[in-house]
Amino acid sequence: MTTQEKITALREELNLHNYNYYVLDNPTISDYDFDIKLKELESLEQAHPEFFDVDSPTQRVGGMITKNFTTVVHDHRMYSLENSYSKEDLLDWEQRLQKNLGDVQLEYTCELKYDGASISITYENGELVRAVTRGDGIQGDDVTSNIRTIRSVPIKLKGDFPVRFDIRGEIVLPFAGFEKMNQELMEIGEAPYSNPRNTASGSLKLQNSAEVAKRPLECLLYYIVGQDLGFESQFKGLEKAREWGFKVPVVSQLANNIDEVFAFIAYWDEHRHELPYETDGVVIKVNSLHYQEELGYTSKFPRWAIAYKFKAEQVETRLNSISYQVGRTGAITPVANLEPVQLAGTIVKRASLHNADQIAKLDIRVGDMVYVEKGGEIIPKIVGIDLGVRPESLERTIYIKECPECGSKLVRNEGEAQHYCLNTYGCPPQIAGRIQHFITRKAMDIDGLGEETVVLLYKNGLVENYADLYELKKEQLLGLERMGEKSADNLLKGIEMSKQVPFERVLYALGIRFVGETVAKKLAIHYKSIDVLAQASLMEMVMVDEIGERIAQSVIDFFSNEKNKENIKRLKTYGLQFVLEEKESTVVSEILKGKTVVVSGVFLKMSRDEMKQAIEDNGGKNGSSISSKTDYLVAGDKMGPSKLEKATKLGITILNEDEFLSMIQ
Ligand SMILES: NC(=O)c1ccc[n+]([C@@H]2O[C@H](COP(=O)([O-])OP(=O)(O)OC[C@H]3O[C@@H](n4cnc5c(N)ncnc54)[C@H](O)[C@@H]3O)[C@@H](O)[C@H]2O)c1
Ligand SMILES: [Zn+2]
């Protein structure tokens, strides 16, 4: 290959990766490998300026617009950041600045580099008018309705804000929210998301804002652009933005010289793991806006800012084997078994490999030396392979074709990443897994029975499904390992008590695919009994709030299965709750029928919860925020002025506490 061919090939490859990463939110190589390829291209281009091209990925912001949203041209372009990895890089950068500006004394603002998706939000007269993704830097996707659902993004500003400006920030998914989302996915037997950054970026591009609203996203702001801003430095800008109501992390600091920048870096390199969200470096910005203007931009970066990338906490270790776990829904998860190694204070032995595609992407082979990294997530990940030391003898990994537990043929449905074992009633981990799900706290909450005991009961032939639990006899239990009189009594008592668990939790406990806690509740409230639910048609079910076709089909499949029918029949005879417990004398009147009421502020005669209950008891619906769909706003004490203003603007009837009470009396 000639140098020119090599350059062209790299450009094409990197463009494809940019597309996968920014548009599909589904990269097919690790960031580490991407950065190496980009560097390689950079040095080839530097050595061969004759092949310069303004369209090269080294010269352009990597993102693109999608076709799913309105395209908006940015008033002020959005840029990427130059990267640096060492003190020397930063000293070089300072020298370049000095050369440009003519030996002036420079102050810097040090900020953390939040790892998410960039956003530009336009405010006019203190009101949010538009939010646009970075796209290719020149134009982006209009995702305003999605951004409006993020609670930390102010819809209206306070204080002395400029008439019109854009504010730039990063949409991130904090670790806690990410883990919670994954927990919920795993509870319904689904594959978890792979990292917070891609999940945050993917969330912005969802077409349904109600879905976005459910995701615990945050928006961290770091830069204001516009005319007549009323401040002269980056640091002041951050303070102002905070005053106007934006979430601007307080960790940012003013550095009087480059040594103070180094101190900031050293501190956060060590302490960044204490933060609730992912960061991958520090961003250093020339503080004076006047100097910023003088320095200007290259085609890809501002000259007045630079990112210092933290070295990821990474170790190299050997992949000893790959094993495959079978979940309760039959989903197969491949796991990397590693030569144990110390990383960020813990010993790492295993890493998740997610699915067959992930293995193919990495081309990971048993015996490889792999790089393992630990972000804020609990399970460490493999970010790359040391191909330089791979022996020729290593064999390509062939994904298993049969279930490692029961030997049946695995199936992968179109559009799904996971392989499944369909031997639902004959595959041991699926059998035990369903019973284990049944007894969890959010489901039947059976005291005295744990995951291991379930396996023990199953291995001893005492249970094959959850209905069998209700036939257990004390004598049978006493024959088991480590099962004393007292534990046996506790277990039986726990099982007995579970007969009082309300219908919505029983429905969740049954382990219907895609039916998590919330969906179970929705179905229980709508259908009121299992018999009615079991008869519901697909057409009918998709009309229920938040129930889509995928869930509906899964419910129908579940109830048409003979084994499930049999189990439910048995559970009924044992006395489990299969009918929604009607709360005593709830509906009092239908005065508010078809009306949506929003409650806000503090009340004297009743608590907010009581008021909300009263609305439902009188046939109304509680709305969470004021919109054109709101019929009444019940305004209490200390209600925010912006809510009142909005309600007035929309012409919503505003009631005080007494007016509301006399209305429902
Ligand atoms: N794996 C892949 O296929 C693939 C493909 C493309 C890009 N990538 C990865 O994406 C990254 C490059 O993306 P990039 O060009 O968006 O650059 P970048 O994310 O490294 O840096 C620029 C961005 O940082 C963000 N940022 C966060 N905190 C900031 C702050 N305080 N001040 C200013 N900006 C801040 C802004 O959104 C800005 O656009 C690399 O890590 C690369 O590995 C991976
Ligand atoms: Zn199996």
- Do residues 601 and 637 lie in contact, with contact meaning Cβ atoms separated by under 8 Å? yes
Residue 30: per-residue pLDDT: 74
Class of domain 3-51: mainly alpha
- For tokens 């998860």, name the residue: 333
Q: Which residues contact 97 (CB under 8 A, 6 or more apart)?
A: 106, 286, 291, 295, 303, 304
HEC profile of 457-505: HHHCCCCCCHHHHHHCCHHHHHCCCCCCHHHHHHHHHHHHHHHHCCHHH
Supply the DSSP string of 620-654, one letter for each residue: -EE-SS--TT--EEEE-BT--HHHHHHHHHTT-EE
285 marked as part of a ligand binding site: yes
Check pocket membership of 193 for ligand 1, CB cut-off 6 A. Answer: no
Largest CA distance in the chain: 90
Q: Which of 37, 67, 87, 113 is catalytic?
A: 113
426 burial level (CB within 10 Å; 0-12, 13-18, 19+): middle
Number of H helices, E strands in the chain: 24, 22
* Nearest residue (CA) to ligand 1, atom 29: 113
How far is Cα 563 from Cα 155, in angstroms, rounded to an integer? 52
The SS3 of residue 430 is helix
Across-strand partners of 234? none
Q: What is the pLDDT of residue 586?
A: 63
Each as own residue / partner, the long-range contacts of residues 210-216 (CB below 8 Å, 24 or more positions apart, any chain) are: 210/149, 212/146, 212/149, 212/150, 213/149, 215/173, 215/177, 215/181, 216/173, 216/174, 216/176, 216/177, 216/180, 216/181
How open is the CA angle 98-101-107, to the nearest 5 degrees? 65
Cβ–Cβ < 8 Å for 463, 436: no
pLDDT block averages, 10 residues each, the chain of length 665: 94 92 80 85 94 92 88 96 93 95 94 96 96 95 94 92 97 91 78 84 90 92 95 97 96 96 94 88 97 95 95 88 92 93 83 88 93 72 89 94 97 88 94 94 91 93 96 93 91 96 96 89 93 95 87 95 96 96 69 87 79 85 85 85 83 86 82
Q: Whose CA is nearest to atom 15 of ligand 1?
A: 80
Q: How far is the CA of 558 from the centre of ligand 2 (A)?
A: 19
Q: Please give the CATH architecture assigned to the domain spanning 314-389.
A: Beta Barrel (2.40)
Tokens of residue 148, six digits: 């409006």
Cβ atoms of residues 443 and 509 within 8 Å:
yes
How high is the pLDDT of residue 377?
Answer: 54
Residue 403, classified by CB atoms within 10 Å of its CB into exposed (0-12), middle (13-18) or buried (19+), is buried
The 8-class DSSP code of residue 124 comes to E
Tell me the ligand closest to 39's alpha carbon. 1
CATH of 71-309, one of 1.10.40.50, 3.40.50.1220, 1.10.3720.10, 3.30.470.30: 3.30.470.30
The answer on whether 403 is annotated among ligand-binding residues is yes
Confirm or reject: Cβ of 31 under 6 Å from ligand 1: yes
The CATH superfamily assigned to 596-664 is BRCT domain (3.40.50.10190)
Pocket perturbation via mutation, ligand 1, pick of 29, 31, 306, 362 by most ligand atoms within 8 A of CB: 31
For the chain, what is the radius of gyration of the CA atoms?
29
Q: What is the Cα–Cα distance from 351 to 357, expressed in whole angstroms?
A: 16
Contact 135, 119 (CB under 8 A): no
Q: Mark whether 649 is an active-site residue.
A: no
Domain 428-574: CATH superfamily is 5' to 3' exonuclease, C-terminal subdomain (1.10.150.20)
Ligand 2 centroid–CA 370 distance in Å is 29
- Which atom of ligand 1 approaches the CA of 119 most closely? 37
Q: How many other C-beta atoms can be found within 10 angstroms of the C-beta atom of residue 215?
A: 21
> Strand 279-286 relative to strand 108-114: parallel, antiparallel, unpaired?
antiparallel
Contact 189, 513 (CB under 8 A): yes
* Residue-by-residue DSSP string for 212-249: HHTS--EEEEEEEESSS-S-SBHHHHHHHHHHHT----
CA of 418 to the centre of ligand 2 (A): 14
- Ligand 1 atom at minimum distance from 62 CA: 15
Rounded to the nearest whole angstrom, what is the distance from the C-alpha of residue 642 to the centroid of ligand 2?
Answer: 57
List the domain boundaries for the chain. 3-51, 71-309, 314-389, 428-574, 596-664
Residue 347 burial (C-beta neighbours within 10 Å; 0-12, 13-18, 19+):
exposed
